[in-house]
């Protein structure tokens, strides 16, 4: 055990929080999967538990591998990965994937492997890293709005444009986090106001176009527009059915909960092991379990701020904020949906909900944070000019 602890680097508290959240996830995922086992399996919940374990195992392998990479390498990697994720988003949106009969243009099916991958989550991490790189490059420099359009905002709006039709909630979260990141990065406020206005105008134009030409856009457009409309109007829909069952589960939990595996609403609540797993946690572990989950995410936020504050470079600080805040924001959006503070979004509870892509990309982001906290950045003035890293050369050139 001592050897294991000696091999991991970075903030040990973050390691502990991530491990604890992963351990906590097994009980609610195993409990909630009984409904999936009845609907899509042979009644056995063991395969779902093994699948969740495999997802977490691969996630921690990603986390461990990424946290060993000197974080300044992520500058060049973000430039290389940006056109790749843009291509993946185009392919994902154009193929119109269906899962169990439902439109699922957020996923791409990996050939010869048999599993699906949500490309927007990878795009989020890459885009945040790219923006952090650019902001660190112009820090303390006087730039005009025109100078930032092509290198900064064009990639941002291209990525968001290909995420939006199939996944409005992710687009909204990413755009919000980007605004926070560029504000922290010192981007001029007068230009930031222009971007907000442009973003709202483009969103309005997209919604009007989607309603005027419904056959041109994927079915998901109608779904998220109706979810917002029904949330405001209070009409009875399938989303309202989900919220109703989630609130029943939360109310049934009380202070101490019904006990592990004794949830009733898991048999009626769709997506009980992913989007609405927080409701199952509260039903089985009560207010105590809910407060524990909230405390862990708040503690993770606190440690992210500490790591950002202690980061040795501007890029390190912005990178930690850029990839770390979306994790916390997504967690609280997920919990807010369960108590009907937000309309149904389809956002998972990071590191707890079932689902491979969410776990893997969360671990990727946390691995990057741990790389910064380990202060593993190699100073360029200590590298022999004959052995310069190509990623560094690329990032400096751009």
Q: For the segment 248-281, what is each residue's pLDDT rounded down to a tens digit?
A: 889 988 898 898 888 888 888 877 888 889 999 9
Task: Provide CB contacts within 8 A for 300, sequence distance 6+.
Answer: 14, 17, 18, 327, 328
DSSP tag of 9 = -
| Antiparallel, parallel or unpaired: β 102-103 and 107-109 | unpaired
Looking at residue 380, what is its pLDDT? 35
Give the pLDDT score at 46. 82
pLDDT of residue 392: 47
- Which residue, chain included where needed, has tokens 């419904």? 214
> Is the confidence at residue 118, as pLDDT, over 70?
yes
Each residue of 187-246: pLDDT tens digit?
A: 988 899 999 999 999 888 887 877 777 666 655 556 666 666 666 665 555 567 788 888
Q: How far is CA 368 from CA 74, 113, 121, 166, 242, in A?
A: 8, 27, 15, 27, 35
The pLDDT value recorded for residue 242 is 80
Of 268 and 71, the structure prediction assigns the larger pLDDT to: 71
Of 27-41, 127-141, 245-259, 371-385, the range with the highest mean pLDDT is 127-141
CA distances from 88 to 91, 124, 172, 391 (A): 5, 13, 20, 22
pLDDT of residue 324: 95
Count of CA atoms in the C-beta half-sphere (13 A) of 260 = 7
Rounded to an integer, the average pLDDT of 9-28 is 93
Share of the chain above pLDDT 70, in %: 80
Strands 116-118 and 98-99: unpaired
Measured in residues, the chain has a length of: 398
Contact 292, 300 (CB under 8 A): no
How confident is the model over 27-60, as pLDDT tens digits? 988 888 877 776 666 667 788 888 899 999 999 9
- The rounded mean pLDDT for the chain is 83
* Dihedral sign of CA atoms 24, 328, 295, 332 in order: negative
The pLDDT, as a whole number, for residue 113 is 57
Q: How far apart are CA 68 and CA 76, in angstroms?
A: 16
Q: What is the pTM of this model?
A: 0.87
Asked if residue 335 has pLDDT above 50, the reply is yes
pLDDT(383) > 50: no
Comparing 151-155, 166-170, 346-350, 352-356, the range with the smallest average pLDDT is 166-170
Q: Write out the two tokens for 320.
A: 């930690």
- 116-118/107-109 β-pairing: antiparallel
Q: Is the pLDDT of residue 378 over 50?
A: no
Predicted confidence band at 168 (pLDDT cuts at 50, 70, 90)?
confident
What's the pLDDT score for residue 397? 43
pLDDT of the residue at 394: 41
Given a contact cutoff of 8 angstroms between Cβ atoms, the answer to whether 120 and 170 are in contact is: yes
């Amino acid at each position: 055990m001592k050897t294991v602890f000696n091999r991991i680097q970075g903030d040990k508290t973050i390691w502990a929080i991530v491990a604890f959240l992963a351990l906590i996830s097994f009980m609610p995922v195993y409990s909630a999967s009984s409904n999936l086992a009845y609907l899509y399996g042979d009644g056995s919940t063991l395969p779902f538990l093994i699948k969740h374990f495999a997802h977490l195992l691969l996630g921690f392998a990603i986390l461990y591998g990424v946290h060993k990479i000197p974080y300044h390498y992520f500058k060049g990697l973000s430039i290389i990965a940006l056109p790749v994720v843009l291509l993946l988003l185009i392919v994902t949106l154009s193929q119109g994937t269906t899962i169990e009969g439902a439109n699922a243009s957020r996923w791409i099916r990996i050939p010869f492997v048999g599993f699906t991958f949500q490309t927007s989550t990878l795009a989020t991490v890459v885009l945040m890293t790219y923006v952090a790189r650019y902001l660190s490059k112009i820090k303390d420099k006087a730039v005009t709005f025109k100078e930032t359009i092509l290198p900064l905002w064009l990639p941002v709006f291209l990525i968001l444009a290909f995420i939006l039709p199939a996944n409005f909630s992710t687009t909204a979260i990413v755009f919000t986090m980007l605004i926070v990141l560029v504000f922290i990065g010192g981007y001029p406020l007068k230009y930031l106001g222009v971007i907000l206005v442009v973003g709202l105008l483009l969103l309005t134009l997209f919604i009007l176009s989607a309603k005027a030409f419904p056959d041109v856009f994927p079915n998901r457009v109608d779904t998220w527009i109706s979810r917002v409309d029904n949330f405001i109007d209070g009409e009875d829909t399938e989303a309202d059915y989900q919220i109703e069952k989630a609130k029943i589960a939360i109310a049934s939990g009380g202070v101490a909960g019904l006990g592990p595996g004794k949830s009733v609403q898991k048999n009626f609540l769709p997506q009980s092991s992913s989007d609405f797993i927080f409701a199952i946690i509260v039903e089985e572990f009560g207010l105590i379990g809910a407060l524990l989950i909230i405390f862990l995410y708040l503690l993770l936020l606190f440690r992210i701020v500490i790591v950002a504050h202690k980061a040795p470079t501007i890029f390190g600080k912005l990178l930690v904020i850029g990839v770390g805040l979306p994790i916390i924001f997504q967690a609280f959006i997920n919990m807010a949906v369960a108590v009907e503070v937000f309309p149904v979004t389809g956002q998972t509870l990071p590191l707890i909900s079932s689902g491979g892509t969410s776990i893997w990309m969360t671990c990727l982001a946390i691995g990057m944070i741990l790389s910064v906290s380990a202060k593993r950045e190699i100073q360029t003035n200590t590298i022999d000019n004959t052995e310069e890293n190509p990623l560094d050369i690329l990032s400096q050139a751009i």
